[in-house]
Amino acid sequence: MKKLDEKTMSKRENRIPQLAESAVKQARSKTLASGRSVIEAVNGKLIESRPDGTSTVLKSLPAPTHVVVGQKKVRRVS
C-alpha cells in the first residue's frame, strides 16, 4: 500500500463531511423510494417523513448539550 503524504491525507480528510452528507441524503431518498418512512431531527423536533410527502412531528427535542473540546461529561442513570 502506497504511503500518503500529509497534503494528500489532509485533502481526503477534508472531504469526509461532504461524503457523509451525500451518503445520508442518498440513504434517505432510497428509503422513501422503497415505501418506508424516515425519522429525523429537524429544527429541534423529531419528524416522521412518509413516501407520499407528508410528515408528522412526533415530539419536540430537548436543547442540545454544549461541550467544549476536551471536556468530559458523565450521564448518570438512576
Whether 16 is in a domain gets the answer yes
Whether 71 is in a domain gets the answer no
Q: Kindly give the interhelix angle for 16-33 and 6-14, rounded to the nearest 10 degrees.
A: 30
Find where cell 458523565 sits. 74
Whether 67 is in a domain gets the answer no
Whether 25 is in a domain gets the answer yes
State which residues form the domain around 35.
6-60
Note if the pTM is more than 0.75: no
Whether 65 is in a domain gets the answer no
Whether 11 is in a domain gets the answer yes
Give the number of domains in the chain. 1
The pLDDT value recorded for residue 72 is 86
Q: Hey, is 58 helix, strand or coil? A: strand
Whether 39 is in a domain gets the answer yes
> Which candidate, 69, 70, 37, places its Cα nearest to that of 52?
37
Mean pLDDT of the chain: 93
Q: What is the dihedral of CA 51, 40, 24, 35, to 10 degrees?
A: -20
Whether 20 is in a domain gets the answer yes
CA atoms of 77 and 46, how far apart (whole Å): 23
- In this predicted model, what pLDDT tens digit does every residue of 3-38 receive, in sequence order? 888 999 999 999 999 999 999 999 999 999 999 999
